[in-house]
Structure 1
């Protein structure tokens, strides 16, 4: 009897988004499905995938949440002017979370002269962050390259500094582009590489401080994306998928053992850029990545926590500690908007080689062929060694030779003793006769 196919599941990021939309914690979801909290976390990060009845229960719960959201979306909406306060309120909630955590994390014994730890400066930064977050939430998100066939009424353009922060460009429906034909996988990948490559290279450089490693990490991320293109193409955020892969490769601790990474790169030419990069690289990797995603890329707090695989309070604390460390050494960058602008300026000042889509696709296919052939060769080597061992192995059991041991009761071997009288007489007779002659050759009887 054929088994029924396993129910489909959304991507790991979509699983987490649906759970948070239902206001469920990982422990609550684990109790509903009948698993542990660590199992739910591994499902949402993509490390493992549910099977059997657990998969059916998990898929049923996610489908129910998605159906509720779809029903709410299909319901009649309010006019456009009333929709913006909700987005603003969401941004203010994110900013208020940061301000609350900053207030709680500020020690009571800190001096009032310190601008990074005083309550007035924290409240000022939270108010400025709430305004900037409200503006950022009101902006439309960059459409995915794969959804270029749709004609949106709001288009996005890259920032002048090359950073990936969407800048809205309002156009009318009459000026909206016409519907484009469906793109081939290569064309869609090229569009993704051209749109996200420049910003990713600059972000990887700010995270590592190495130009070669930044370029290599972005190329490897795009190569991995091309190898798994069926998975990346249906992802809700292909740019985020590639960004997470590039960040993971760039910040891997194993690079310190490479001979090419033992010596630091040449610092930036400007002293201000050099000082800012030194402060940024002095931060712990987790704080550096969270700061780059929140203040550099422009993600909100839940998306930053999801991409860094951390809880929302943990991500907020990392951002606050990173800001305080930067403001302590560079007081001019205490404002988040100034910090965002500074990140874009330092990243855009360096001349970095941008990844080419053709080269990335060719390199990805070459690496895939190389590792496939290496796996086939290794498997053939194991099979040949096993066959040779079976051919030369003995077909029956041969017991080993027992070690020797001493035997008692046998008389010892005697050496030559004294001659008897008959032996002595014979020896004298033999010595008296001639050694050669006719008598020796032809004995005669006497």
Structure 2
């Protein structure tokens, strides 16, 4: 039993553009498809992909919206109705055009479709009825020649289509880096408020990802793997002991952006990270809880407290949609550039070589120290000599004095006598 191919869908940006062109909100579109607003939000951000009957209904509705937009644009003359404007969004400070707002959102939110899914997605299938007639004409002419001509012409053998070459690990890493690094740098800047630390955190996370590339390449969400590593490095408590991070960096030029950034930095790190993942990146509550290593109720509690703290200081950001827009605009105002992928890979390889050589040097030093200890250590046990102690009640030994004349004469007499004793007695015969 073969499985039928999935209904093709436009890219996430095109889905959102079609909905906004038709002047529909996410709640209205969700009601027409039969899902929740959060599901439509996930579909338009690219984090999830519809399946089954919901995919068919969603694709049919998008096709209808595309046909209506085409029909409105194709009406000639002054009778053509103007294209409906997208739903207005209230922006707290420095509101720009709708196109600028979309670019700001795209600069912060990553498309959730991974590289493997994009490569495996064949796109819309071509309609066999819409094939040009030029391809069928040579076949019909060939058949006519075979019927009328005396000698049949051999049919040309079709050339085998070359299969797409698989990406090397370096090419796959470079594609992942170019796909996600700019947005991750902006997210980390919102998390820490420091530009250099944001770039360094993302580069260090990708260096670790290159060191564990087989594991990252098989992960279901490689971008999430790198994002978690970057956030952990940026929020590490050891960063406060670094000299260059003790001095504050220049704040944003706009007063509203400066106020919003200061409000975010006043939140506790777990609350700040939860707010950024849920309202900034657009993850769901279970995904946010899994990435922050917390339970779902605890994550919801952190999110509510973070929203209350932001709304208490900036009441115009009480709406989550407006907060999402403002976070994207704040991230897009900073010119944050990441290093090139080859530079990150070379840095990772250089760091791996340094750690390897350091481990080898430490091992050699340990072996040399052990050998020297074994060479100079005693081979048998030598009991330690106890220190002397004074014994009471025993008179000290008196040294002898000068000898008298009698003692000198006796000593001389002893020295003059034979030392070997008397002569040996020999037996005599009688």
In the other structure, the counterpart of 2:210 is 226
Higher relative contact order by CA 8 Å / sep ≥ 6: 1 or 2?
2
Structure 1 unaligned spans of 5+: 1-73, 82-126, 145-152, 417-446
Report the CA distance between 1:405 and its aligned residue: 3.6
1:147-177 CA distance string (max 9 Å, x none): xxxxxx99xxx962211244999974349xx
Q: Report the CA distance shift for 1:284/1:398 in structure 2 as closer, same or farther (over 3 A).
A: same
**Alignment pair present for 1:173 and 2:173:** no
Unaligned runs of 5+ residues in structure 2 are 10-30, 50-58, 63-100, 128-161, 403-430
Q: How does 1:397-412 map to 2 (within 5 A)?
A: 397-406=381-390, 408-412=394-398
Answering whether residue 294 of structure 2 is matched by residue 310 of structure 1, we say yes
TM-score normalised to structure 2 length: 0.60
Larger Rg: 2
Cα distance change on mapping 1:413 and 1:241 into 2, 3 Å:
same
Partner of 1:136: 41
1:248 maps onto 2:191 in alignment: no
Aligned counterparts of 1:225 and 1:319: Cα–Cα separation in 2 = 29
Q: d(CA) in 2 for partners of 1:226 and 1:367? A: 11
Match for 1:378 among 351, 357, 362? 362
Deviation readout 1:393-435 (Å, 9 max, x if unpaired): 111122222322447345534889xxxxxxxxxxxxxxxxxxx
**Residues 75-90 of structure 1: pairs in structure 2 closer than 5 A:** none
Do the aligned partners of residues 344 and 79 (structure 1) sit closer, same or farther apart at CA in structure 2, a change above 3 Å counting? closer
Residue equivalent to 1:320: 304
Matched, 1:204 2:206: no
TM-score (norm 1): 0.58
Comparing 221-230 and 407-416, the one that deviates more: 407-416
Residues 80, 212 of structure 1: alpha-carbon distance in 2 compared, 3 angstrom cutoff: closer
How many residues were matched structurally? Answer: 285
For residues 159 and 373 of structure 1, the distance between their equivalents in structure 2, rounded to whole angstroms, comes to 48
Alpha-carbon distance in structure 2 between the residues aligned to 1:227 and 1:411: 80
The Cα offsets for residues 289-327 of structure 1, whole Å up to 9 and x where unpaired, read as: 111111111111111111111111111111111111111
- Map 1:5-154 → 2, pairs under 5 A: 132-139=37-44, 141=46
Quick one: distance in 2 between partners of 1:210 and 1:239? 21
Q: Is the 8 A contact 1:291 1:322 kept in 2?
A: yes
Indicate the residue corresponding to 1:160 in structure 2: 103
CA spacing shift, 1:138–1:215, aligned 2, 3 Å: closer
Distance (whole Å) between structure 2 residues aligned to residue 180 and residue 164 of structure 1? 30
SS at match of 1:160: helix
Q: Secondary structure at the match of 1:390?
A: helix
Structure 1 residue 264 and structure 2 residue 264: aligned?
no
